[in-house]
Amino acid sequence: MRKTLAEWRPAVDEAIADLVPQEIDAEYLETFFGEPTYEYDPQGIQRALSDPLWDLLDRGGKRWRAVLFLVFVEAFGENPEAYLPYACIPEILHNGTIIVDDVEDEASMRRGDDALHHIYGQDVALNAGNAMYFLPLKLLMENPGDLPPERRLAAYEMLMYELNRTHLGQGMDICWHNERDVRITAEQYLEMCACKTGCLGRIVARLAAIVTDQPTAVEHAVADYAELTSVAFQIGDDILDVENSLGRAGEFGKEFGNDVREGKKTLLVIHAIRESEPEHAARLQEILAADTNTDEEVLEALSIIDDAGSIDYARDRALALAAEARESIADLDLEETAYEELQEFTEFVIDRDV
């Protein structure tokens, strides 16, 4: 029986538990990390690595990076079960970036609970997040798919290419966040998204292509699909934050306009500042740069964005990116059901809850 997307989740979690068990013992450490020279402290590794990792995973998440990897494998006409361990690679990388990003952004909450650095301390959280950058890369050495050396090297080189760009994207995002003025272009914003969010999507797609030995052209096509979809989703997020905020603004006690409060330079903001009358643009800039804002000020900023037609502009760009994503895999020879799932996936860019 073919698994639905949701049915993959328990299998993915089992594969992650094979990589990092909920209970750490000396035998696991010796098997996975190699013989100690002296003596491991399993209790310490339990607290430093397994506890924070599973705390985060147990809070939920759809594991969609892992699932998308498996859909790609299926689309290439291969059996997803045979490549299940590799699905952990983008999933653990993604959860690692969440932990590190939360420290960088000084976030207080994550998936409905305290951010990990508030529970385990910044030191443990950060080290666990960073360990989650390297744990999945070691999995390639275990070679569960019995890949020939050239495929393993291709996977490493792909990962190094994409993970370097991830840090470029995060670097741009952080830098802009710390600047007062909105000096960037829409194209630079899209590049930031393509690097920061898109590269993890590209890892999902390219890894599936590499482990199943697809031609280079196919690998590039699915990478384009994944990058375009990721960027479209990010713009969708930006739109939803503004739209939901405008809808919620009258409701007493509801938090709204988070992106404006954080001073985020989203595609909508970049467009609104470029297209608004100078005094409105200056006012929007001022509200974004302020340390704190009243609800009225946040609403004023949201109205300037709305009046500039920035929601429609961003929606058009997101939908165009999603269409481009569908187009990029349209000519490939992919298994039919999986292909349809990939096409449908891009439809949720705008039409989704929260």
- Residues of this chain that interact with a second copy (CB under 8 A) are 29, 33-34, 36-41, 43-45, 47-49, 100, 103-106, 121-124, 126-128, 130-131, 133-135, 137-138, 140-141, 149-150, 152-153, 156-157, 160-161, 163-165, 167-168, 170-172, 174-178, 184-185, 187-188, 190-192, 194, 198, 227
CB of 158 to a second copy, least distance (A): 10
Q: Which two tokens stand for residue 128?
A: 């666990």
* For helices 84-104 and 122-142, angle between their N-to-C axes, nearest 10 degrees: 160
Of residues 33 and 81, the one with the C-beta less far from a second copy: 33
Of residues 70 and 140, the one with the C-beta less far from a second copy: 140
- Quote the distance between the C-alpha of residue 40 and its chain's center: 33
Of residues 105 and 312, the one with the C-beta less far from a second copy: 105
**Coil, strand or helix: which one is 184?**
coil
Centre a 10 Å sphere on the Cβ of residue 43 and count the other Cβ atoms it contains: 10
How far apart are alpha carbons 12 and 63 in whole angstroms?
A: 8
Of residues 149 and 250, the one with the C-beta less far from a second copy: 149
Identify any residues that bridge with 113 across adjacent strands, giving them in sequence order: 110
Of residues 143 and 294, the one with the C-beta less far from a second copy: 143
Of residues 227 and 238, the one with the C-beta less far from a second copy: 227
Rg, Å, the chain Cα set: 22
CB of 109 to a second copy, least distance (A): 18
- What backbone phi and psi angles, to 5 degrees, belong to 302? -60, -40
CB of 49 to a second copy, least distance (A): 6
CB of 306 to a second copy, least distance (A): 25
Helix ranges, 59-178 (H): 64-75, 84-104, 116-120, 122-142, 149-178
CB of 137 to a second copy, least distance (A): 5
Give strand ranges (E) for the chain. 109-110, 113-114
The owner of tokens 């340390």 is 291
CB of 36 to a second copy, least distance (A): 5
